[in-house]
Amino acid sequence: MKLMPTVFCLLLVVLALGGARVEARGTPSADQGSKNQWSSMFVFGDGFVDNGNLPKTDTWRQWSYPYGSYLNSRGSATPVPTGRLSNYWIQSDFIARILGLNEAPPSYRLTPHLSCDPSGMTFAFGGAGVYEVPDKKVPTLATQVNAFTRLLNTGVISKQQLQSSVALVSISGSDYMTGANVDNAFLSSFDDIDSYIGNVTTEIAKNVGKLQRLGVRKVLVNNMHPIGCTPLRTSANNYTTCDLLANYAATVHNNNIEHLMGNKNNAHILDLYTAFTDIVNHAPGEGSEQSNNFKRKLTPCCEASTELGYCGQVSPSGKRLYDLCKNPEKNFYWDETYPTTAGWEAVTEALEEPLREFLDRDYVP
Ligand SMILES: *[C@@H]1O[C@H](CO)[C@@H](O)[C@H](O)[C@H]1NC(C)=O
Ligand SMILES: *[C@@H]1O[C@H](CO)[C@@H](O)[C@H](O)[C@H]1NC(C)=O
């Protein structure tokens, strides 16, 4: 009983300090940087930033063992799948660290009902696009934003949290894959392709606009990485060169994004195209230091050992049906689509400076 007043006083001190910290948020000084101002993050889009929404029982990709298995070498006793489509950390983890968080906010699926972590939430879903993929039950970008809207409307996510929140939107080409809506669109000419890409980018911009109207202060939007350089496309020529037509589509996409979003207040385009290209597809002799750190740039680390198999596949008797490279630190790509943690680290380094400038800039109401 005697202790009570002491505890109470301590509590008051803690509250007062907490209050002071909140006050300081409005005026970030150089040494505080964006760390204190942006304490929460909401993540939308696809597998570049999904950290656990893709269910393990998913039939189109039996995601299990190799994903996150290298957690092992970083201090955990047994390999633990992290829910990420990579060997360990992914883009949203690195962006979260720039904000001063430890890692990406927890996934929607793994967050307890009617709650929201102070660091935010990840709605992104591996394989998602702006359009529905007919035979895959993947929530589109708009569906993800709707889920976020519901949590806001019901007060699970508070207005206060929203004010110190940054959103990250990643749409990285699911809409342009075989089996996607594009197959139903009967694209037979460059005009059709341009029109379809125009529709995809318009949808992205619409959702960004919606997030801003809902009160998210700052929005980060990935542009399209050079999709012609993913191992999925380079496998056709033994992982030697990028597919130029696919990269052309990415540049059309990016010109649209720039046009729709380039001058928008409180929105920032993360230039994945340049960051990826500088690493995996620079002109010979112009390799940056970053680029030279990678020995294998167009080849997956994790590869199916059978023709129709996939990374992570195991036989009914539990036999591994995929091969892993020896040194994922030297591989840019983890599997046929997603970069390694080392790849993401290098990409984030290239994005960091303009991103910090954007975050430090005043919010324009
Ligand atoms: C783009 O959207 C418009 C309007 O919804 C539609 O009429 C058109 O068919 C779409 N284009 C393609 C190539 O999907
Ligand atoms: C593909 O590349 C590997 C490794 O460089 C080589 O051993 C193999 O012969 C090549 N295959 C073809 C079909 O070019």
Taking the CA of 236 as reference, the closest ligand is 2
3-state secondary structure of 217: coil
196 close to ligand 1 (CB < 6 Angstrom): yes
Taking the CA of 196 as reference, the closest ligand is 1
3-state secondary structure of 221: strand
Q: What secondary structure letter does DSSP report for 363? A: P
**Atom 14 in ligand 1: which residue has the minimum CA distance?**
196
Question: What topology is assigned to 6-18+33-360 in CATH?
Answer: Rossmann fold (3.40.50)
Q: Taking the CA of residue 53 as centre, how many other CA atoms within 13 Å lie in the half-sphere pointing to its CB?
A: 27
Q: What secondary structure letter does DSSP report for 55? A: -
Distance in Å, CA 238 to ligand 2 centroid:
6
195 close to ligand 1 (CB < 6 Angstrom): yes
Distance in Å, CA 185 to ligand 1 centroid:
8
**Atom 10 in ligand 1: which residue has the minimum CA distance?**
196
pLDDT tens for the 365 residues of the chain, in order: 333 333 333 333 333 333 333 333 333 344 444 446 899 999 999 999 999 998 765 444 445 556 765 544 444 445 567 788 888 899 999 999 999 999 999 999 999 999 999 999 999 999 999 998 776 789 999 999 999 999 999 999 999 999 999 999 999 999 988 666 655 555 567 778 889 999 999 999 999 999 999 999 999 999 999 999 999 999 999 999 999 989 999 999 999 999 999 888 999 999 999 999 999 986 655 666 777 789 999 999 998 888 888 887 778 887 888 888 988 899 999 999 999 999 999 999 999 999 999 999 999 98
Taking the CA of 206 as reference, the closest ligand is 1
**Atom 1 in ligand 1: which residue has the minimum CA distance?**
199
> Is the distance from CB of 125 to CB of 138 less than 8 angstroms?
yes
pTM: 0.85
The domain locations on the chain are 6-18+33-360
**Atom 4 in ligand 1: which residue has the minimum CA distance?**
199
Nearest in space to 321 (alpha carbons), one of 65, 80, 149, 73: 65
Nearest in space to 218 (alpha carbons), one of 26, 37, 4: 37
Q: Which two tokens stand for residue 295?
A: 């020995």
Cβ-based neighbour number of residue 193 at 10 Å = 18
